[in-house]
Amino acid sequence: MKNKNNYDYLLADLTKLNGVGKKTMEILKKKKVNNIFDLLWRLPKSYTDRTLVSKICDLQIGVIQTIRIVPLKYQFPRVRNLPNRVNCIDETGTIDCIFFNSHEGYVRKILPLNEEITISGKISNYKGRYQITNPTYISQDSSLIENIDNKYSLTEGITEKTYNKIINQILKNLPILTEWHDKDILKTFNNESWNEFIIKLHDPKNIENFKSDFYKRLAYDEILASFLVNSEIRKKIKKIKKVSKNFSGNAHNNIISKLDFTLTSDQKISLNDINKDLNSKSKMFRLLQGDVGSGKTIVALISSLSVVTSGFQVALMAPTEILARQHYSLAKELFPKNIKFELLSSKSENSEKKRIVKGLENNEIQMVFGTHAIFQKKIIFANLGYIIIDEQHKFGVRQRKLLSDKGGDNCDVLLMSATPIPRTLTMSVYGDMDVSIIKEKPSNRKEVKTYSKLENKIDDVINFVKKEIKEGNQIFWVCPLIEESKKLDHQSSITKYKFLNEIFPNKVALLHGKIDNEEKEEILNKFLNKKYSILVSTTIIEVGIDFPNANVIIIENANKFGLSQLHQLRGRVGRGTKQASCILMFKSNLSVNAKKRINILKNSNDGFEISEEDMKLRGFGDLLGFKQSGIKNFRLADPIQNEDLFLMAEKQIKKIELENIDIKKYKALLKLYDQADIINDMV
């Protein structure tokens, strides 16, 4: 019987299914299949057609075929390791069924003499006789065999047969869900239901039929669900009432007067967005997105000072200590003397830490800088009103929500990220937040000049480096990324370090993954203070650190990196006023496609544009940071192939928000596709 209007079946535990016990369930759980719904998205890769019944005389060796045979004679050898054998016939010839590791009783039972049996399996030839070894498909009821079996990418411990049985069982019992889409949307997908489309999705004839309506609708469902959840989180946060921050423009002007540059108009617009939110009676949950070097820090500091003058505390969290320290030092230059702010560092003396913790608790300290350590349980803020998180692209929606909750209702939240993402993805990655974007670079910036060089031209590169060092500039030397092996990565950076150190004695520092955090910070600090001219490193030159004196970045084996990643690396230089350069090195001549990619990079300094192109060239899963970013991985939807669906979903969300449409009608969609607690308080 079908379950009417009931999605509970789909969310049920796998053991609900006939033929799935604890063991199978555990195996599938390891593959992140937790319930029946999850199983629906493991799609057939190909299929085996067992519907065609052959005669023995027509059999082909090496092919899976179905035949109807009559067992004539058993051969049960008394010698260990020899297989049991059953001679069988049809009216056109003979074939042997071979069973290794089998009991006599079992063979007698499944192949009773003189009965017609249907079997299916791969046919082989042994000493001129047809044979079929350990056939799994044997039955007196031919209808059980003469089917089309889908081939799924299987998991060890589950046979194709079992798997097909499970899937067929689910497809047969699919509940009829109440349609969640409006008529006009349904029309675009040929008015068919989710239910019908799921069945089509598993129809072997439809394998990889990405352009079909069923595929598109199911992808659209998925996109809309993800956008809806984000939009609901956003609405929910915006409904939180808070005490508004009251401040004059004094703090702002005070800082501006100390700067030797003027803010770009995007910086001003962003500050305006932020101030409006801070002044309002609703909680702020905003993302400040801006390419590397676009000047987000100053926006954060100006708004922080404003909040401090309104009587609330501020916490600024950076991903690393060195970055936290850098922000803190900038505040030291810019904040008025009477403001009490501290850096909470793991290196501080215990007594110092205690003093800061106490100061935050009794409201004597107005602002604190630090890493995630500032959100430890033992740290209690007397009156926290503003949290800023720098370089947060590794946080997913749920982590952000947690953080926002943790600050309390009165606490505004600003996240800053330098990871530009393609437009189609904005709603899935940041749809839970309001977004301000700094597109414009400070006007004093010269674009970083980007060159490509073959590795055998290293002498030219060395000469160039010599010249730069003479002019007092510093150089980043990024060693090849060796994906296959961390050990090789490590070795190659050491080799490069030795090589460069011979040419530039005492001027080279080395950073690699095996150096612990403390030492790493020390090296970076020394480099920042110009104790070295060249910093050799494996990929990770800390995000966000401002090295105004670093003017050249050399990236070896550049074709191993994604464009966005190269752009981020390139953004480490060119922060001062001098002309900066980025040299991309290659092992061999570039392919046409690789040239295309490098040209995009040479011709554009716009991270958003580059991320679009990068996504088109590499697919979205590979984009910088996505794997760690917490971005939901779509099961069917593809941001490149289905751009239209993403835009359509965006439009639908706007409509839902604008017309205040009750999202209860999407309850089943959300419950199924998101399966998270957040949904429970929404619908």
CA 255, CA 387: separation in Å to the nearest integer? 20
Beta bridge partners of residue 659, listed in sequence order: none
Stretch that binds Mg ion, among 433-441, 521-529, 538-546, 624-632 (CB under 5 A): 538-546
Sign of CA dihedral 412, 417, 423, 429: negative
Q: What part of residues 286-315 is at the interface with ligand ADP (CB under 6 A)?
A: 290, 292-298
Q: What part of residues 541-570 is at the interface with Mg ion (CB under 5 A)?
A: 544
Q: Are 202 and 150 in contact (CB under 8 A)?
A: yes
Is 126 a binding residue for ligand ADP by CB under 6 A? The answer is no
Question: What is the x/- site pattern for Mg ion, positions 495-534, by CB under 5 A?
Answer: ----------------------------------------
Beta bridge partners of residue 367, listed in sequence order: 314, 341
407 binds, among Mg ion, ligand ADP, none (CB under 5 to 8 A by kind): none
Among 15, 136, 190, 444, binds ligand ADP (CB under 6 A): 444
496 binds, among Mg ion, ligand ADP, none (CB under 5 to 8 A by kind): none
Residue number with CB closer to Mg ion (544 or 625): 544
The one-character DSSP state at 532 is -
292 binds, among ligand ADP, Mg ion, none (CB under 5 to 8 A by kind): ligand ADP
Burial class of residue 501, CB neighbours in 10 A (0-12, 13-18, 19+): middle
286 binds, among ligand ADP, Mg ion, none (CB under 5 to 8 A by kind): none
Beta bridge partners of residue 416, listed in sequence order: 288
Residue number with CB closer to Mg ion (476 or 586): 476
Task: For the CB of residue 399, give the shortest distance to Mg ion in the complex, in Å.
Answer: 19
From 346, 320, 359, 329, select the one nearest 542 (Cα to Cα).
Answer: 320
Is 393 a binding residue for ligand ADP by CB under 6 A? The answer is no
Residue number with CB closer to ligand ADP (288 or 374): 288
Nearby residues of 17 by Cβ (< 8 Å), 6 or more positions away: 36, 166, 169, 170
CA 182, CA 199: separation in Å to the nearest integer? 22
Burial 297-312 (b: 16+ CB within 10 A, else e): bbbbbbbbbbbbbbeb
Is 261 a binding residue for ligand ADP by CB under 6 A? The answer is yes
Complete DSSP assignment for 608-651: HHHHHHHHHHH-GGGSTTTTTTTPPPPSS--TTTTHHHHHHHHH
Residue number with CB closer to ligand ADP (96 or 266): 266
Task: Name the residue number minimizing CB distance to Mg ion.
Answer: 544
Task: For the CB of residue 257, give the shortest distance to ligand ADP in the complex, in Å.
Answer: 14
Among 19, 336, 548, 619, binds ligand ADP (CB under 6 A): 548
Stretch that binds Mg ion, among 104-112, 276-284, 537-545, 654-662 (CB under 5 A): 537-545
Task: For the CB of residue 298, give the shortest distance to ligand ADP in the complex, in Å.
Answer: 5
Burial 58-85 (b: 16+ CB within 10 A, else e): ebeeeebbbbbbebeeeeeeeeeeebbb
- How far is residue 556 CA from its own chain's centroid? 26
Residue number with CB closer to ligand ADP (233 or 418): 418
Burial class of residue 402, CB neighbours in 10 A (0-12, 13-18, 19+): exposed
Angle at 311 between CA 309 and CA 314, to 5 degrees: 80
Q: What part of residues 568-597 is at the interface with ligand ADP (CB under 6 A)?
A: 575
Residue number with CB closer to ligand ADP (315 or 318): 318
Task: For the CB of residue 291, give the shortest distance to ligand ADP in the complex, in Å.
Answer: 7
From 279, 322, 330, select the one nearest 300 (Cα to Cα).
Answer: 330
Q: Are 316 and 381 in contact (CB under 8 A)?
A: no
Count of residues engaged in binding ligand ADP, rule: CB under 6 A: 19
298 binds, among Mg ion, ligand ADP, none (CB under 5 to 8 A by kind): ligand ADP
Count of Cβ atoms closer than 10 Å to residue 169 Cβ: 14
Is 274 a binding residue for ligand ADP by CB under 6 A? The answer is no
Residue number with CB closer to ligand ADP (219 or 550): 550
Angle at 433 between CA 427 and CA 435, to 5 degrees: 85
Residue number with CB closer to Mg ion (71 or 544): 544
Residue number with CB closer to ligand ADP (323 or 379): 323
Residue number with CB closer to ligand ADP (83 or 442): 442
Strand 434-438 relative to strand 285-290: parallel, antiparallel, unpaired? parallel
Is 418 a binding residue for ligand ADP by CB under 6 A? The answer is yes
Q: What part of residues 485-524 is at the interface with ligand ADP (CB under 6 A)?
A: none
261 binds, among Mg ion, ligand ADP, none (CB under 5 to 8 A by kind): ligand ADP
Token pair of 266, please?
Answer: 């995007």
Residue number with CB closer to Mg ion (166 or 448): 448
- At 163, the amino acid letter reads Y
CA 416, CA 399: separation in Å to the nearest integer? 15
Task: For the CB of residue 390, give the shortest distance to Mg ion in the complex, in Å.
Answer: 6
| Residue with the two structure tokens 């550049």 | 558
- How far is residue 438 CA from its own chain's centroid? 24
Is 442 a binding residue for ligand ADP by CB under 6 A? The answer is yes
Residue number with CB closer to Mg ion (90 or 546): 546
Task: For the CB of residue 574, give the shortest distance to ligand ADP in the complex, in Å.
Answer: 10
| Residue with the two structure tokens 């069973």 | 99
444 binds, among ligand ADP, Mg ion, none (CB under 5 to 8 A by kind): ligand ADP
From 310, 311, 312, 378, select the one nearest 344 (Cα to Cα).
Answer: 378
Among 237, 263, 317, 524, binds ligand ADP (CB under 6 A): 263
Is 264 a binding residue for ligand ADP by CB under 6 A? The answer is yes
Task: For the CB of residue 373, give the shortest distance to Mg ion in the complex, in Å.
Answer: 19
294 binds, among Mg ion, ligand ADP, none (CB under 5 to 8 A by kind): ligand ADP
Stretch that binds ligand ADP, among 11-19, 234-242, 261-269, 503-511 (CB under 6 A): 261-269
Phi, psi of 473 (to 5 degrees): -90, 160
Among 160, 179, 546, 606, binds ligand ADP (CB under 6 A): 546
Residues that bind Mg ion (CB under 5 A): 544
Residues that bind ligand ADP (CB under 6 A): 261, 263-264, 267, 290, 292-298, 418, 442, 444, 544, 546, 548, 575
